[in-house]
Amino acid sequence: MRKVLMVGPGRNVHGGISGVVNNYYAAGLDKKIRLCYIATMVEGSKARKLLQAGIAYLRFLAVLPRYEIVHVHMASDSSYYRKSVFIRTAHFFGKKIVLHQHGGDFTGFYRRELGEKGRVRVRCTLAMADEFLVLAPVWKTFFGEIIGEEKITVLPDAIPVSKREPREYGQHRILFLGRLCREKGVRELLACVPALRERFADVKIYLGGIWEDGDLQEEAARYPQQVEWLGWVFGDEKKKYLRECDIFVLPTYFEGQSLSVMEAMEAACAVVASDTGGIPMMISHQKSGLLVKPKDAEALKEALLAALEDPALCRRLGEQARETVEKEFSMEENMRRLLQIYERVAGKLECPPQRVDGSKDGTV
């Protein structure tokens, strides 16, 4: 059994990476390998986050000698800075590293926020990976310019596929799931409300997520009949809203690959989403969803009106989206490929793993 030490955010953190990790556990990855998961980030104050990072690093040092592969889930900004410490430590001790990049705005972080010295350091850190996993071909191109494409593999996210259930279209119910902030396009979505309610008096937009912008929350409160805040939804409650809402919307500015869009596709919703990041790899415009330009409230309004006006269109988009998930984004296929990647990485091992103190380790 391969021994893998996995690093990422807490599994109860609100976000896509924790969803990916939880899906791996639900699919039984921990039964197929000897898996240890270390949470480097929790939600809360800066002090709480800093304390968690410190505890996670000490635990990482303690168990590192027992594992042959270190699998690091990473985004950009503070996630990169946290994970770079773990990556460099694993590299120092000669471990094989699988770096799993999830961030939707690493481009902006790398090109606009970093100086030349910072970019050099990022290139050096990322190059320490033996396998570099990205969610879509567009990211292979971007990161290929930084570290070369030879070690980069496209591994799209995946979800468990449940039994198909009958559903109705033409309900005029729209669902949004994600961080409630400017970068997810919430401002543009709220700007569409007057036009939508003018055409459809019964239209309802459900916002599932945590508010990160007080101004946007105040804006949403201006439409009490049309906009309802659900808080963060998960589990059976999430499935309920995906089943009851015939349209799913995500007008995000950037995205690695949206797990919420994939869940909406699996539920056969008609998806309206931004043409950015890995989303175009998931959705074929006018076949399995409607794609709009990011930050374009007018285009978003027209796409939502088209879906609201035509239940037959929603059904066609939803059914094709469901078929796409079944064929291309099943959890079983994703996990099979991940296990192959572990085998490939482990095959590069030149000697038995070493303890931090230099002695060989043959135990778990």
Based on the fold, state whether residues 44 and 143 are members of the same structural domain.
Answer: yes
Strand 173-177 relative to strand 69-74: parallel, antiparallel, unpaired? unpaired
Instruction: Report how far residue 151's alpha carbon sits from residue 132's, in angstroms, rounded to the nearest whole number.
Output: 6
Which structural domain range is residue 316 located in? 173-328
The number of residues in the chain equals 364
Residue 363 lies in a domain: no
Based on the fold, state whether residues 9 and 154 are members of the same structural domain.
Answer: yes
Instruction: Report how far residue 43's alpha carbon sits from residue 328's, in angstroms, rounded to the nearest whole number.
Output: 32
Phi-psi region at 104: left, alpha or beta (left = phi > 0; alpha = psi -120 to 50): alpha
Based on the fold, state whether residues 338 and 303 are members of the same structural domain.
Answer: no
Residue 236: Cβ within 10 Å count: 7
Based on the fold, state whether residues 197 and 127 are members of the same structural domain.
Answer: no
The letter for the amino acid at 292 is: V
DSSP, res 183:
G
Instruction: Report how far residue 295's alpha carbon sits from residue 274's, in angstroms, rounded to the nearest whole number.
Output: 9
How are strands ordered across the β-sheet holding 69-74? 34-41, 3-9, 69-74, 96-101, 131-134, 152-154
Query: End-to-end CA distance of the chain, in Å?
Result: 11
Based on the fold, state whether residues 313 and 263 are members of the same structural domain.
Answer: yes
Based on the fold, state whether residues 229 and 134 are members of the same structural domain.
Answer: no
The letter for the amino acid at 11 is: R
Displacement of CA 214 from its chain's centroid (Å):
24
CATH number at residue 177: 3.40.50.2000
Instruction: Report how far residue 261's alpha carbon sits from residue 27's, in angstroms, rounded to the nearest whole number.
Output: 20
Q: In tens digits, what is the pLDDT along the chain, a chain of 364 residues?
A: 899 999 999 999 888 899 899 999 999 999 999 999 999 999 889 999 999 999 999 999 999 999 999 999 999 999 999 999 999 999 999 999 999 999 878 999 999 999 999 999 999 999 999 999 999 898 999 999 999 999 999 999 999 888 888 899 999 999 999 999 999 999 999 999 999 999 999 999 999 999 999 999 999 999 999 999 999 998 899 999 999 999 999 999 998 888 899 999 999 999 999 999 889 999 999 999 999 999 999 999 999 999 999 999 999 999 999 999 999 998 988 999 999 999 999 986 544 444 344 434 333 3
Per the listing, tokens 């590299």 go with 91
Number of domains within the chain: 2
Taking only Cα atoms into account, the Rg of the chain, rounded to an integer number of angstroms, comes to 21
